[in-house]
Amino acid sequence: MPKLKGISRILKSDKLKNIVKKIMGFISSHRLLSLLIVGAVVALVVILAIFGRKEVVVVQTQEKRKAPVTINRLEIIVPPGAFPTGKRFLIKEIPRDSERYRRIVERSNFLEEVYEVVPKDGREELALIPLTLRYRIPRKYYLGNDSFNLFLGYMKSDDDVLRRIYGCEMKEDDRGVYIEAKVFHTSIIGFSAGSPKEFVMGIRNMIERPPSYKPPVLIIPGIDGNFVGAIPKTRTNENPQGKNIWEFIFPDRSIWVYRYPLKSTRPKVYTDAAEAFFERNKRDYLIYEAKRLATELKRFPYKFDVVAHGIGGLLIRYAIESDPTVTNVRRVVLVDVPNLGTNLANPVYLNLLYGKSPDALAEIYGTDPDSIRFLVKNALDYLEKVNVFWVDLKPDSDFIHILNSFGLRKDVDYLAISGTTPS
């Protein structure tokens, strides 16, 4: 308090008042200088307001232009139509010198600032159209345009575990590097880093066998990473990739895998290429990835038998059915592929259950609360894992309609296991 009183006396002194009058007189006689100074002051006030505030309210916009609301490192966009009625959120930065911040970071391994985004009306609702999050990261964490070890994560409460936000994208603008993600609900949000790894895309060899009359097998996974078949704790210096379940199923064939960033963070080198594609074509990640797969297949002089799971099945179908010049696929086995789409990817249906009382819902639907919790948990887990691909997986999506308009290849044998039968 003594320092503040001293400053107050200085501000009230006649000497300072005379100095201020002289400065104002000089400025008023130099109109251009006056305008420049006023502009600079306004800009400074805006900058301090943006980067100095610890909480801010974001409102669902009704306009087509989706402008972000910023609080320090975090930006959030609530698009029109995301919620049935206008929705307001309070974004709060959790003080870094607080016990709460220490406890959250200890449980989550978050880096830098952590934010809490809560609905002002206290109602937990699932967005019908995903919200966009952008977290601007310090340059020291960025390892280059092909790095994908950074990701956004969330916690439902202070005592929750870290949950990864799948399908993050590394981007950069004139303000620096940031991580972008799509989410259907709000929570405690921060960013974290995994171990740096080499970013590998395309068709890659897993198991090499001597040439035989049987074609190699190409594995195309979906959201279940275990479908690649790697057996844990089997890597050695002689076999750095470790053992694989597919080598026991196909002991006399080479095994290949198609690698693409479905759940992992998409590095800047990938997002730049995707954005260039979207400038010339429809903004559709499944189509983009399917065309990349078609290009990859054409590199190989021999035929493949393909085993694909989930979204991977949609990719191989689109790749070969939209492009008759892909002629080196002999058979396609589709495992749990939503060939006609799935309402698990439709947030409208999940929103009927999300945030509601399990006890009340159990009574309405004639089941038990644990079954309701299990259903909501697994449906939300699926929606989060398919991330930006969700819009293509709905039964009424343009992608599903276009895919099934091509017709099945007559020179390819199809087998559908579980899922829906391709048409």
Measure the CA–CA gap between 205 and 300, rounded to whole angstroms. 12
Exposed / middle / buried, residue 27 (Cβ in 10 Å: 0-12, 13-18, 19+): middle
Give the number of other Cβ atoms within 10 Å of residue 349's Cβ.
14
pLDDT of residue 18: 52
CA triplet 175, 179, 180: central angle to 5 degrees?
105
Measure the CA–CA gap between 248 and 234, rounded to whole angstroms. 14
DSSP states of 227-291? GG-BPTT---SS-TT--BHHHHHSTTS-EEEEE--SSSPBPHHHHHHHHHHHHHS---HHHHHHH
Q: Which of 193, 224, 258 is the last residue of a domain?
A: 193
Say yes or no: 127 and 212 in one domain.
no
Q: Which mean pLDDT values do the consecutive 10-residue runs of the chain (423 residues) have? A: 42 45 44 44 40 55 56 89 86 94 95 93 90 95 94 95 96 95 95 92 93 94 93 82 89 96 96 96 96 98 96 98 98 97 93 92 94 94 96 96 96 93 84
Q: What is the CATH number of the domain that holds 127?
A: 2.60.220
Say yes or no: 216 and 121 in one domain.
no
Is 94 within the bounds of a domain?
Answer: yes
Say yes or no: 112 and 172 in one domain.
yes
Exposed / middle / buried, residue 384 (Cβ in 10 Å: 0-12, 13-18, 19+): buried
Containing H/E element for 413? strand 413-417
3-state secondary structure string across 27-65: HHCCHHHHHHHHHHHHHHHHHHHHHHCCEEEEECCCCCC
Measure the CA–CA gap between 422 and 133, rounded to whole angstroms. 36
C-alpha to C-alpha distances, 306 to 215, 221, 252, 313, 400, nearest whole angstrom: 10, 11, 15, 9, 20
Would you say 364 and 352 are in contact if contact means Cβ atoms under 8 Å apart?
no
pTM to 2 decimal places: 0.82
Say yes or no: 186 and 322 in one domain.
no
Say yes or no: 69 and 93 in one domain.
yes
Is 79 within the bounds of a domain?
Answer: yes
Q: Which residues contact 403 (CB under 8 A, 6 or more apart)?
A: 314, 317, 318, 321, 322, 339
Is 5 within the bounds of a domain?
Answer: no
N-terminal to C-terminal alpha carbon distance within the chain: 78
Task: Give the residue from 295, 276, 265 showing the smallest Cα distance to 202.
Answer: 295
pLDDT of residue 66: 57
Q: Which of 193, 220, 250 is the last residue of a domain?
A: 193
Say yes or no: 173 and 218 in one domain.
no
Say yes or no: 211 and 182 in one domain.
no
pLDDT of residue 110: 96
**Can you give the residue range of the structural domain that contains 289?**
202-341+395-417
Would you say 380 and 352 are in contact if contact means Cβ atoms under 8 Å apart?
no
Is 182 within the bounds of a domain?
Answer: yes
Give the helix ranges, DSSP H, for 29-182.
Answer: 31-52, 99-108
Q: What is the CATH number of the domain that holds 286?
A: 3.40.50
Task: Give the residue from 312, 327, 338 showing the smallest Cα distance to 396.
Answer: 338
pLDDT of residue 88: 87
Number of domain units in the chain: 2
Containing H/E element for 294? helix 285-297
pLDDT of residue 30: 45
Is 98 within the bounds of a domain?
Answer: yes
Say yes or no: 133 and 161 in one domain.
yes
What SS3 state is found at 415? strand
Q: Which of 158, 176, 193 is the last residue of a domain?
A: 193
Say yes or no: 207 and 164 in one domain.
no
Is 47 within the bounds of a domain?
Answer: no
Say yes or no: 140 and 157 in one domain.
yes
Measure the CA–CA gap between 409 and 317, rounded to whole angstroms. 9
Is 323 within the bounds of a domain?
Answer: yes
Say yes or no: 151 and 238 in one domain.
no
Is 207 within the bounds of a domain?
Answer: yes
Say yes or no: 169 and 267 in one domain.
no
